[in-house]
Amino acid sequence: MSIQAFASTLGATDAIVSGFDLMHMPEVFRQLVGQYPLQKDLQFLEEMGASEEVKQTSFSWQEENRINAPFTVASKSTVVGPGTTVRITLAAEDHYSNGLYSSVRVNDRVEFRNGAKGLVIAKNTTVASAHTIDVQRVNTNYDVVAAAVAGQKVAIMSSGFAEGGTGYSESILPVLTTFTAKCQIIRETFKVTTSEQTNKSWVSFVWPAGMPNAGSDGGFYFIKAEGDTYDRYNLRRELGLLTNDEDDGLLVIGSDPAIRQTRGFIPHVKRYGELMDYVSKPSMGTFETFQRLLNKNFSEKDVMGIMGLEFGMELTSFGTDLMKNGGVLYNSSTGAKMDSLGLGFNQYSFATGYNFHMKGMAALNHADTTGLTGFTYPSLCIICPTGNKKAIVDGTAKQVAPITIRWKKVVGGGAQDGGVNGRYKMWYTGAGADIPTNDVLSRQLNIAAEEGMQVMGAKRFIYCSKVA
Least confident of 118-122, 309-313, 379-383, 443-447: 443-447
142: β partners: none
Residue 97 belongs to a domain with what CATH number?
2.40.30
How many residues make up the chain in this entry? 468
Query: Across 8-17, 199-208, 337-346, 452-461, which has the greatest mean pLDDT?
Result: 452-461
Cis geometry, peptide bond prior to residue 82 (ω within 30 degrees of 0): yes
Given a contact cutoff of 8 angstroms between Cβ atoms, the answer to whether 187 and 105 are in contact is no
Which residues make Cβ contacts (< 8 Å) with residue 325, sequence separation at least 6?
none
Which residues make Cβ contacts (< 8 Å) with residue 46, sequence separation at least 6?
405
Write out 391-447 in H/E/C secondary structure.
EEECCEEEEECCEEEEEECCCCCCEECCCCCCCEEEEEECCCCCCCCCCCCEEEEEE
| Closest of 19, 427, 409 to residue 185, by C-alpha | 409
CA–CA separation, 281 vs 317, rounded Å? Answer: 8
What secondary structure letter does DSSP report for 328? Answer: S
Question: Residue 74: enclosing H or E segment and its boundaries?
Answer: strand 71-80
| Domain final residue pick, 119, 134, 168 | 168
| Domain final residue pick, 107, 139, 168 | 168
State which residues form the domain around 445: 14-61+186-262+406-453
The answer as to whether 178 is a domain residue is no
Task: Give the global pTM.
Answer: 0.73
CA–CA separation, 310 vs 305, rounded Å? Answer: 14
The answer as to whether 361 is a domain residue is yes
* Higher per-residue pLDDT: 6 or 49: 49
Given a contact cutoff of 8 angstroms between Cβ atoms, the answer to whether 75 and 131 are in contact is no
The answer as to whether 374 is a domain residue is yes
CA–CA separation, 54 vs 316, rounded Å? Answer: 41
* Higher per-residue pLDDT: 149 or 360: 149
Share of the chain above pLDDT 90, in %: 28
The answer as to whether 173 is a domain residue is no
Burial (CB count <10 Å: 0-12, 13-18, 19+), residue 257: exposed
Phi then psi for 150, rounded to 5 degrees? -55, 135
Q: What is the per-residue pLDDT for 20? A: 44
| Closest of 242, 245, 329 to residue 41, by C-alpha | 242
Are both 425 and 368 inside the same structural domain?
A: no
Burial (CB count <10 Å: 0-12, 13-18, 19+), residue 12: exposed
Are both 203 and 56 inside the same structural domain?
A: yes
CA–CA separation, 33 vs 224, rounded Å? Answer: 7
Are both 191 and 52 inside the same structural domain?
A: yes
In the predicted structure, residue 136 carries a pLDDT above the cut 80: yes
| Domain final residue pick, 114, 135, 168 | 168
Least confident of 114-123, 131-140, 330-339: 330-339
Q: What is the per-residue pLDDT for 360? A: 87
Are both 353 and 434 inside the same structural domain?
A: no
Given a contact cutoff of 8 angstroms between Cβ atoms, the answer to whether 387 and 378 are in contact is no
| Closest of 121, 97, 96 to residue 108, by C-alpha | 121
Are both 346 and 460 inside the same structural domain?
A: yes
Are both 441 and 462 inside the same structural domain?
A: no
Using DSSP's 3-state secondary structure scheme, residue 344 falls into coil
Are both 331 and 462 inside the same structural domain?
A: yes
pLDDT, tens digit, 9 for 90 and up, residues 393-420: 777 777 878 888 888 887 765 554 444 4
pLDDT bracket for residue 133 (50, 70, 90): very high
CA–CA separation, 119 vs 135, rounded Å? Answer: 5
In the predicted structure, residue 297 carries a pLDDT above the cut 80: yes
Are both 419 and 448 inside the same structural domain?
A: yes
In the predicted structure, residue 252 carries a pLDDT above the cut 70: yes
pLDDT bracket for residue 238 (50, 70, 90): confident
Angle between helices 223-243 and 41-48 (to 10 degrees): 50
pLDDT, tens digit, 9 for 90 and up, residues 156-195: 999 999 888 888 888 777 777 788 888 888 888 777 665 5
Domain count, the chain: 3
In the predicted structure, residue 203 carries a pLDDT above the cut 60: no
Are both 248 and 316 inside the same structural domain?
A: no
Mean pLDDT of 46-66: 72
Mean pLDDT of 128-151: 95
Given a contact cutoff of 8 angstroms between Cβ atoms, the answer to whether 403 and 455 are in contact is yes
The answer as to whether 295 is a domain residue is yes
Using DSSP's 3-state secondary structure scheme, residue 235 falls into helix
pLDDT, tens digit, 9 for 90 and up, residues 359-370: 888 888 888 888
Q: What is the per-residue pLDDT for 334? A: 46
Are both 45 and 194 inside the same structural domain?
A: yes
The answer as to whether 299 is a domain residue is yes
What are the CA-CA distances from residue 145 to residues 75, 94, 104, 421 (Å)?
11, 20, 18, 65
Are both 338 and 254 inside the same structural domain?
A: no
CA–CA separation, 11 vs 35, rounded Å? Answer: 18
Q: What is the per-residue pLDDT for 222? A: 53
The answer as to whether 174 is a domain residue is no
Using DSSP's 3-state secondary structure scheme, residue 265 falls into helix
Are both 358 and 240 inside the same structural domain?
A: no
Mean pLDDT of 267-287: 91
384: left (phi over 0), alpha (psi -120 to 50) or beta: beta
Q: What is the per-residue pLDDT for 19? A: 41
The answer as to whether 9 is a domain residue is no
189: left (phi over 0), alpha (psi -120 to 50) or beta: beta
pLDDT, tens digit, 9 for 90 and up, residues 422-454: 677 777 788 877 788 888 887 777 788 888 888
Using DSSP's 3-state secondary structure scheme, residue 200 falls into coil
Given a contact cutoff of 8 angstroms between Cβ atoms, the answer to whether 466 and 376 are in contact is yes
Share of the chain above pLDDT 70, in %: 72
